[in-house]
Structure 1
């Protein structure tokens, strides 16, 4: 009980942690900033502030403002309380860093981390889902962002699914913001460091380990049954002409001649191929490890948890959507529907990890971690009931 109480109480001074998010990179970028930031957006409805607006371009290695030389290769409007900037055609909380880079304007939104999360959580998970699932997503997204802080780089994160999808002010919703507020300062940790909190849409009923997908041996990112993960792509099938399969295999260096068969000859414990064998007129060839997974994704598969059938066409039958490592979003929804709280959800998807509170100290480049408490891990009986099998 004390551990649970500590987990629920863990909060930190996260508001002052700024993140830098690349939201635009183009020959020209439209930017509008409030001249008097105190009159800008107040969190409920916009007022009518005074704005300055420019078309920011590049001439040589310097920025131009509506065609006029700015005299610099970078400009910075720092974030202020309740400030909003327009970059492109979207509004964002915080400030903006503009820089000339390779003939383009890079526009980087600079804002407090929880304001950033208000635009991430509803972009990554439907706001209609249970609050505990949204809270788990908020903690995972906050942890991911903190792990990417890189003061020497031009920015910390991008705004697409290559990092985390960030939609700015227009994407914010009351329920997602409530999840961010309820988990203020909470991050997943392991060994007194910020954990790597990957997530995907649907594990297909069995999470993948970081080792099998990316060759990273992280003890809290393991392969395990995930029976609550049931999304729209829980089961799917592709039918591919063998000629198309051969063309894709060729991109991976497969030189077996005209193919007669393609088979998964080794698979991981999670059911993802670790070796694929190609038989053709010139003999056999194999793809192993990450290349095997890359080939499956190149076929157009939604995930790599697949089995092959048929010959021509090749039938790819799969389960899930995404890489399957870490938190499954549909699994989080399923567990929340079973009345699991966000700590239990996180404990399931990151076994052996802990919850820590972000702490800030003057002069530190990045926040440190405060007191940690191990996340609750469901008992074997609880997991067995979900899987539908007797406990060992």
Structure 2
């Protein structure tokens, strides 16, 4: 007898598509991709008297879980379940209130969509945006930090993913640092859960749309503009003094890079000048980051400019790009010395700056107003369509004029 009937009920359940209920903005997160993915889902509750017994003190016994090894057929055209052809290129277990799913040994809230991609399997967690944030916030910021800092992180994480909801794409975001770190249920904590609940639905908006809420660990005392880092000027992502970004592990750092590695990285930026004699910053951005770097070698001079200048510094292993270069030892075979402040690209919210502001008693709205000047606070509307729609917003506050004058903050604050 064929083994197929043993998994047919679950197969039918997985294959059924279910519309999202109104008000629940669902996020599709690519969590695993590979030749085979293991998925474990709870089985439906048994009928009364089914003979499974009960747990301690008469509580229902833990339900067994169905585990499925999901792969692809030899021709790579369809999914398989426990080695049996599922007859579909995609299977879907929709989320229900309180549902969880285990994907490759990690537990996530919501449901799962499985699809064939490039001869392998993609496992996409489909989860309510607020449940998604319960995992993202503690993965991106220490939960021992003040509630205002955690609240700001929750809002910018919600805004980030709301801007990426796209029904035409196979998924909206990924679970790694390339998008937002999303480890699943194991990352959740009471403090971060509280921050998500306290800011429910809140997003940063500009022009009626979710803003690009970039953030980094530590601005090094001065945020970078989006124009200098990525070549795209956004009015709410300016270069501005950031006096509260202090006290991070990367507030001041030093790095030595051998001449061979400097030459190797420069070649990636199409600069090859032979044996290096000097490397110098020849033009700075308004935030004090390199906009042009000149490399002089035995075969001539080359330049790396614009956003590539910062990319070159980061590719050398630097934590950030607010740096001073010392190439005095290169000619004699020594290293290039890089001294810098801060960590990350420096655009938008600085997490250590948010920590400093929160410790001064400012709310999460003030933090957002300072790092994204000219934006407004909006709320996600309740819609049935798989997209993010914003309600009318109100301007975000920022620290008052007296505070700005006392800390000599200029540029970008309105």
TM-score exceeds 0.5: yes
SS state at 2:380 partner? strand
2:212 corresponds to: 196
Is 2:61 the partner of 1:51? Answer: no
Consecutive unaligned residues in structure 2, runs of 5 or more: 1-20, 48-59
Deviation at 1:61, TM superposition (A): 1.2
Could you list the structure 1 runs, at least 4 aligned residues long, displaced by more than 4 angstroms after superposition: none
The 3 A distance-change label for structure 1 pair 354 and 22 is: same
CA contact (8 A) 2:22 2:383 kept: no
Is 2:291 the partner of 1:274? Answer: yes
SS state at 1:247 partner? helix
CA contact (8 A) 2:349 2:368 kept: yes
How many Å separate the matches in 2 of 1:366 and 1:63?
A: 28
2:249 corresponds to: 232
How many Å separate the matches in 1 of 2:263 and 2:304?
A: 13
How do residues 85-96 of structure 1 correspond to structure 2 at under 5 angstroms?
85-96=101-112
Of 346, 359, 384, which residue of structure 2 is paired with 1:324? 346
1:4 corresponds to: none
Consecutive unaligned residues in structure 1, runs of 5 or more: 1-12, 40-45
How many Å separate the matches in 1 of 2:210 and 2:364?
A: 18
How many Å separate the matches in 1 of 2:401 and 2:207?
A: 24
Deviation at 1:58, TM superposition (A): 1.1
Of 225, 229, 234, which residue of structure 2 is paired with 1:209? 225
SS state at 2:261 partner? helix
How many Å separate the matches in 1 of 2:185 and 2:375?
A: 32
CA contact (8 A) 1:37 1:82 kept: no
Deviation at 1:14, TM superposition (A): 9.4
CA radius of gyration, larger in: 2
Of 357, 380, 403, which residue of structure 2 is paired with 1:382? 403
1:322-344: CA deviation from partner (whole Å, max 9, x where unpaired): 11111111111111011110000
CA contact (8 A) 1:260 1:280 kept: yes
Pick which of 219-228 and 305-314 moved more: 305-314
2:167 corresponds to: 151
Pick which of 20-29 and 54-63 moved more: 54-63
The 3 A distance-change label for structure 1 pair 14 and 129 is: farther
TM-score (ref. length: structure 2): 0.86
2:120 corresponds to: 104
2:387 corresponds to: 366
Deviation at 1:282, TM superposition (A): 2.2
Deviation at 1:175, TM superposition (A): 0.5
CA contact (8 A) 1:14 1:358 kept: no
Count of equivalent residues: 370
CA contact (8 A) 1:14 1:113 kept: no
TM-score (ref. length: structure 1): 0.91
Q: How large is the Cα RMSD of the aligned pairs?
A: 1.9
SS state at 2:279 partner? strand
1:9 corresponds to: none
CA contact (8 A) 2:224 2:239 kept: yes
